[in-house]
Homo-oligomer: A and B are copies of this chain.
Amino acid sequence: MSMAPAVILVRPQLGVNIGAVARAMMNFGLTDLRLVRPRDGWPNVDAGPAASGADAVLDGARLFDSIAEACADLHLVFATAMLMRPITRRVVTPERAVSELKALGLADSLPGGLLFGPERTGLETADLAIAHAVCTIPTNPDFGSLNLAQAVVVFAYEWMRQQQTMPPEELMHYPGPAPMQELENLFVAIDEKLTENRYYSPAPGRPEAARLTLRNLLTRPQFTEGEVRTLRGVVRMLAAPRVTSAPTGGKR
């Protein structure tokens, strides 16, 4: 994993949000939390419970007097903002920001960071000027104001997504498809019962088409050997002669 970016909260207002940010960071493998003049000082009693166990991140949080000091050792910094105000600045998506931070870490182990503004107002224009570029989360234009921790989740998730080696799709605890012969036996068993029960229309070509449909339907799911056995049992029981319920006066 390349060097994870620092999360810098600028003048955060609520301790619960700082705690929720710590939790989200730790969920996705980020650890470097920096606080610039939190409104209610630091430490904040509300942060711990909201962190739900992400104490390592909270305990390691560092306090700074200015954005410049908080970013002093960082080589690439993105400011997150909704951009209501015009600004002459490079604006990127979270995907792009994270990939640039990742490339930097991979290439030279240079740390980078992400700036997040106060809950109510976001970063000010003067704050944005400190960052190399602005990053905007794509949101609903009519309801774009994200909770602070949820904005952090987007970046932290992007970080994890771009690191991950997990394939987009995998089968868990799947022993693989049954041998073809087992599937064939299942098909034959079903086919025999269906023929016996006059399932197939006698019209020319119809039985063949129906069998093809059935074969496709049974083959596509790649049933395991165990599943094919289960299906054999189900077919056998479905086709068994009806047991009349509570046969009164029957033998025994």
List residues of chain A with CB under 8 Å of any chain B CB.
20, 23-24, 26-29, 52-54, 83, 86-96, 134, 136-140, 143-147, 149-150, 153-154, 157, 160-161, 164, 166-174, 224
Contacts and interface: CB of A to CB of B under 8 A. Distances in A.
Contacts of A164: 93, 138
A131 to B, nearest CB: 13
A224 B89 CA distance: 12
B166 A93 contact: yes
B91 A150 contact: no
Nearest to A100: B169
A164 B138 CA distance: 7
Given A137-B157, A150-B150, A153-B154, A27 B143 contact: yes
Contact of A27 (B92, B144, B157): B144
10 contacts: A20-B150, A27-B139, A87-B172, A88-B172, A90-B169, A93-B161, A93-B169, A95-B161, A134-B172, A150-B150
Contact of A140 (B27, B153, B170): B27
A177 to B, nearest CB: 12
Residue picked from A29, A150, A169, most chain B C-beta under 10 Å: A150
Chain A to chain B: the 5 pairs with minimum beta-carbon distance, closest first: A96-B168, A138-B164, A86-B173, A92-B169, A26-B143
Contacts of A28: 138-140
A93 B168 contact: yes
Nearest to A163: B138
Contacts of A20: 147, 150
Contacts of A146: 24, 27
A250 to B, nearest CB: 37
